Amino acid sequence: MGCMTRVRCIVFNAALGALDYRVPEGMDAPPGSVVVLPLGPRQILGVVWDDGDLPRDNYPEHKLRSVLEVLPVPPLPAPLRRLIAWVADYYLAPLSAVARMALSSSAALKGSGTVTEYRLTGEEPARMTPQRLQALDLLQGEQATMRELAEIAGVSEGVLRGMLSQGLLEPVLVDSDRPYPAPDPLFAAPALAEQQAEAAAEMVEAVAAHRFQPFLLDGVTGSGKTETYFEAVAAALEAGRQVLVLLPEIALTAAFLGRFEARFGVTPVTWHSSLKASERRRAWRQVAFGGAKVVVGARSALFLPFADLGLVVVDEAHEVAFKQDDGVRYNARDVAVMRGHFEGVPVVLASATPALESLQMAEAGRYKRLVLPSRFGGAQLPKIEIINLTELQPPRGRWLAPPLVEALQDRLAKGEQSLLFLNRRGYAPLTLCRHCGFRFKCPNCSAWLVEHRLSQRLACHHCGHEVPPPPVCPECGEPDCLVACGPGVERIADEVGELLPGARVAVVTSDTLASPAAAAEFVAQAEGGAIDVIVGTQLVTKGFHFPELTLVGVVDADMGLDGGDLRAAERTYQQIAQVAGRAGRGAKPGEVLIQTRHPKAEVIAALASGSRDAFYAAETEARREAGAPPFGRWAAIIVSSEDEAEAREAARAIGGTRPDEPGVLILGPAPAPLSLLRGRHRYRLLIAARRSAEVQKLIRSWLAPLRFPPGVRVAVDIDPYSFV
């Protein structure tokens, strides 16, 4: 027998880790190959991994089983394999769970092929039914598989098949591997302002040199950061390379696509959770074959198998949404920098309000800071004023103080737009019975149910549990006794409607902008002047550019400071500075009114006086003194079970074996602030260590010997953002 090829494979089963297999003669399975493997009586997906990355498997050679098949996709490239290994190691996640994030389209793994999609023919139906009418309306301009069309149209596949046989729909054969139109780097290059040109030159140079270099593109709102990093995108395109742009929320893609198309002639490829399976397949394969040049996506796009990546951009890089808090708990901003490191390409973190961590990295010389200190085209930053709610109270049952109401009336009279910001979805955060005091609580979570009047539901914002508002109190049976406590955006919108009759008010939250299409519709309406007052959550605080918007009102600046975790002040500063940045971006100057009960609070005072540097400096000092991130390393251990006693026992067992190391402080276990979540009881421990401490190693050897009942989940959160 000749020399046998033995390969290590990550198998897609978290409990198993890596196993050795034999590569049969004539099969080519280099590292990164996606393979089908035998496992017991079953077949399982796996990836051929690099020697040396993993502990050896001493399974006897003659007993090894053979790789069954190499799937028809390019092997995961080496830089992506390095990234997967790094993420698994740093975030203490199973290698297979991270590798799975890279194989994010199962259809793509089946290879190329054709898909039959369908579209309207434009024929008029001989016999009209309400369902057909609905389909004809909703399927305008759509082309997708039967199943996907049925979903879009909200009718059964049977209805569509009927329409097919009537000639109202026609089939189209689509090649799943057809490339995307290529963006043209020279399509419409703008003349850059001097400060933009200087920043762009630095990034372009690093792209051309194919060199790892993190940049912190730190520019005030409206300074033209997008146009500036577009120059780096153009440079990567000219070099024939691919580009990844990460955005924190799908809602922002709509605005981004338009701007990209205006600059490069075509829209980029998008990657997010609401893509159809056929779109995912095409995007994944074209990324792997190099036919998708620019991909804009949510954090999951970080793990796409780019053939030849030339640049990574993280826009709104300070956003908390880049932190994933379930499954593999990673921070996409930090992983993006690591991807750039392994690919040997520059990474641009763009923000008007950088995370303290990022500023600190710039300070330490690890990131290069590029500053855009003024708005593009001579637009002025808005004037910011404080409304002290302890002196200027809104009338009972209302939330907008008189100066804010006057300002709103003034803008409406002038035909200008206003934006009211309140980071609370729904109508009211708490509903209770006026008769007996009963409060509506989620049965699965330690949280109140939030009233949503638009959808007529009481909803839990943690687990999605929903009930219609009952006609009588479930506790005392009294009819019509429910009272809403406190404001949400819907209630503010009602108030605006009463105060400004005739004003066109839009509520903008993740409920109303659930899809890219809905977001595009909103952008078109706002830009077209069809909205007078936008009432929105943090979703509208960033990215949008509405030239006619001249007034921003912050309904409750104190909200984010309640229950203050590590980043409460920083986050409040970022949110308010960002939303303020929506005002006065065009020719007309902007004004920002901030309602607060604590006008003297450091963060509020800093916002009012426009002293960003002073605020960051004070915040940095406070963190340094407390040994908090970025000056110390934090990690959390979250223990949960459906059984409260079981969760408590497991948490105690962990707490009882805590390592005792100098420079490492371990707090807890204590019941989590959100002690019940999706039916699971939760306990937390916090590890606070010196920057130099090897936290991962410590946690790994701490938890490794412990065994728990099957119902117990132990999650580790490195560099946590959430403390609930």
Residues that bind ligand ADP in the complex, under the rule CB under 6 A: 190-193, 196, 219, 221-227, 376-377, 545
CA neighbor of 247 nearest in space, from 296, 280, 214, 286: 296
The listed partner (Zn ion, ligand ADP, none) that binds 463, CB under 5 to 8 Å by sort, is Zn ion
Give CA–CA dist 298/44, Å, rounded: 28
Partner whose footprint covers residue 196, from Zn ion, ligand ADP, none (CB < 5 to 8 Å by kind)? ligand ADP
CB of 288 to ligand ADP, least distance (A): 31
Nearest to 377 by CA among 191, 591, 188: 191
Spatial CA neighbour of 202 closest among 235, 224, 244, 226 = 235
Provide the minimum distance between the beta carbon of 541 and ligand ADP in the complex, in angstroms, as a whole number.
12
Residues 6+ apart with CB under 8 A from 187: 263, 264, 265
Beta carbon of residue 448, minimum distance to Zn ion (angstroms, whole number): 10
Question: Which partner in ligand ADP, Zn ion, none is near 268 (CB below 5 to 8 A by kind)?
Answer: none
372 or 460: CB nearest Zn ion: 460
As measured in angstroms, the least distance from the Cβ of 578 to ligand ADP is 9
Nearer to Zn ion by C-beta: 204 or 677? 677
Q: Closest CB to ligand ADP among 55 and 378?
A: 378
The residue behind tokens 């609070």 is 601
| Cβ-based neighbours of 226, under 8 Å, separated by 6 or more | 256, 259, 315, 350
Within 10 angstroms of residue 355's Cβ, the number of other Cβ atoms is: 25
Q: How far is 493 from 418, CA to CA, in rounded Å? A: 12
* CB closer to Zn ion, 267 vs 444: 444
State how far the Cα of 561 lies from the Cα of 639, in Å rounded to an integer.
27
Round to whole Å and give the CA distance between 270 and 73: 20
The residue (of 263 and 461) whose beta carbon lies closer to ligand ADP is: 263
Query: Strand pairing of 42-48 and 34-39?
Result: antiparallel
Element (H, E) at 384: strand 383-388
**Contact yes or no for 627/690 (Cβ under 8 A):** yes
Provide, rounded to whole angstroms, the least separation between the CB of residue 293 and ligand ADP.
Answer: 21
Nearer of residues 163 and 445 to Zn ion, judged by Cβ: 445
247: partner contacted, choices ligand ADP, Zn ion, none (Cβ within 5-8 A by kind) = none
CB-nearer residue toward ligand ADP: 231 or 416: 231
CB of 460 to Zn ion, least distance (A): 3
Binding residues for Zn ion (CB under 5 A): 442, 444-445, 460, 462-463, 465
Closest residue by Cα to residue 39 from 55, 25, 23, 20: 20
Contacts for 464 with CB less than 8 Å, ≥ 6 apart: none
Burial class (CB in 10 A: 0-12, 13-18, 19+), 659: exposed
How remote is the C-alpha of 493 from its chain's centroid? Answer: 26
Q: Which among ligand ADP, Zn ion, none contacts residue 444 (Cβ within 5 to 8 A by kind)?
A: Zn ion
Q: Which does 24 bind (CB under 5 to 8 A by kind): Zn ion, ligand ADP, none?
A: none
Residue nearest to ligand ADP (CB): 224
- In this complex, which beta carbon is closest to Zn ion, that of residue 306 or of residue 448? 448
Alpha carbon distance 130, 141 (integer Å): 20
Please state the closest distance from residue 377 (CB atom) to ligand ADP, in A.
6
Shortest spacing between CB 442 and Zn ion, in angstroms: 3
169 binds, among Zn ion, ligand ADP, none (CB under 5 to 8 A by kind): none
Residue from 313, 298, 356 nearest 225 by CA: 313
**Residue 465 binding partner per list Zn ion, ligand ADP, none, with a CB distance cut-off of 5 to 8 Å that depends on partner kind:** Zn ion
Considering the complex, what minimum distance in angstroms separates the CB of residue 464 from Zn ion? 7
Nearer to ligand ADP, 372 or 651 (CB): 372
Interhelix angle 489-499/402-414, rounded to 10 degrees, is: 70
